[in-house]
A and B are shown apart, each in its own frame.
Chain A
Amino acid sequence: MIALLLRDLKLAFRAGGGFGLGLAFFLIVTVLVPFSVGPQSSLLSTIAPGVLWLGALLACLLSLDRLLALDWEDGSLDLLATAPLPLEAVVTIKALAHWLTTGLPLVLAAPFLGVLLNLPVPGFSWLVISLLIGTPAMSVIGTFGAALTVGLKRGGLLLSLLVLPLYVPTLIFGAEVARRGATGMETQTPLLMLAGITAATIALLPFASAAVLRINLR
């Protein structure tokens, strides 16, 4: 399992530049927001938590079609399926690798982009906490979407159509935590809901992803 994780991490860092792409996308989206809504700092600080959450979500989405497609093309996915490791573990590791290479950098970059959008001071810690809890769910759900569309020629667009509705609960609770944190309201309820969704998706969704992957590999 660790060997697989290390392999995925090495591939992400060394080959293809997939690693920095999500971060760059996040940066660009954040920079473009003031151009589209105007530079008033009061407006920007109101929408900052939501914009940062949406930016992180889209950046996460961007790297999903690469998650399993490369292994599918060169046949290593077939090898992984016949390996002694259960496929459920494989997809979990894949999701973990995706989170480490995409989710975690986004979490770390978010506070710096928060400065650009004039995020209120108490909002920073809540933004980081909510993203830290929410991004694993996005990786796991994204892995399910990637497993669904892995066999398709032009799966990328379909992948976003399938995955985005599944992101709705995570986005609602995550952005709610960040927004309430930024305005100094209590954040416990949405935070617990967000953590619950993340825990449940990590626990259950790999089974669905593995089942779907088996169908696709048949």
Chain B
Amino acid sequence: MSIAAKANALWEYANPRKFLATSERVMPFFWITSIACIVVGLTWGFFFTPDDYKQGSTVKIIYLHVPAALMAINCWLMMLATSLVWLVRRHHVSALAARAAAPIGIVMTLIALATGAIWGQPMWGTWWAWDPRLTSFLILFLFYLGYVALWEAIEDPDTAADLTSVLCLVGSVFAILSRYAVNFWNQGLHQGASVMRAAAITGADTEEKVSNIYFYPLLLCIIGFVLLFIALVLYRTGTEIRARRIKALLARERVNG
């Protein structure tokens, strides 16, 4: 199949019926593998890896903290992509997917913040510090809240989709800007990127790299969270599509009856 044909095939899922049919077929796969990955990853991480020589057993919060934080950011990126698709090609499924993803992003952000606080208390001696990473996550949380609130506030679904899409675009720019502003504003306690870093993975830089003992179960947890996120988005998008159908059916009934 040529690339153009493949691209066309992707757009077929803009048809809600096709989307629902396919997502229902693949969803069990995502649910089962994600739960399996998370269960195996967490069990492996919690019970079959040694305690860190400095941090003791608290290091094991990493298996929830890092995947949740990754998904919190990736969820916003996904919303950005689907918002763009909605603005350019006006596929309703795309807008509904963005709407469906936002609450998941909020929960992921909250998990990351909460596990971070629980981890920070024994390690840094404080639940919260105005560290750049922590602060930017709090700001991201505020952006999510504003986004969801705008969706809820507007009655007309197309207007709501348009406005939230523009807000998502503008918000992304300001979120990145805030990230750098916050970096400038305060030096941090939080360590730098130490999981998915090229120099750390190739072994060129071992200073702040997460050790391989922890890395493999962590990778499993990350994969599990990604799959879980996909499953949740598919599920919630399906719900949104059905909710909109019900609304349309009710409206039609009211007109006819």
Contacts and interface: CB of A to CB of B under 8 A. Distances in A.
Interface of A: 144, 148-149, 151-152, 155, 158, 161-162, 164-166, 168-169, 172-173, 176, 189-190, 193, 197, 205, 208, 211-212, 215-216, 218
B16 interface: no
B178 A152 contact: no
A162 B150 contact: yes
Interface string B115-145: 0000000000000000000000001001101
A152 B185 CA distance: 36
A40 to B, nearest CB: 23
Contacts, number: 75
A81 B181 CA distance: 36
DSSP majority for the B interface? helix
Given A148-B167, A152-B153, A166-B171, A173 B146 contact: no
Interface of B: 139, 142-143, 145-146, 149-150, 153-154, 159, 162-163, 166-167, 169-171, 174-175, 177-178, 180-182, 184-185
B109 to A, nearest CB: 13
A151 B184 contact: no
A168 B149 contact: no
A169 B177 CA distance: 6
Given A161-B146, A162-B146, A176-B185, A215 B153 contact: no
A155 B185 CA distance: 32
Contacts of B163: 148, 212, 215-216
Contacts of B169: 208
Contacts of B167: 148, 162
Contact of B174 (A151, A166, A173, A212): A166
A148 B181 contact: no
B255 to A, nearest CB: 22
A130 B163 CA distance: 32
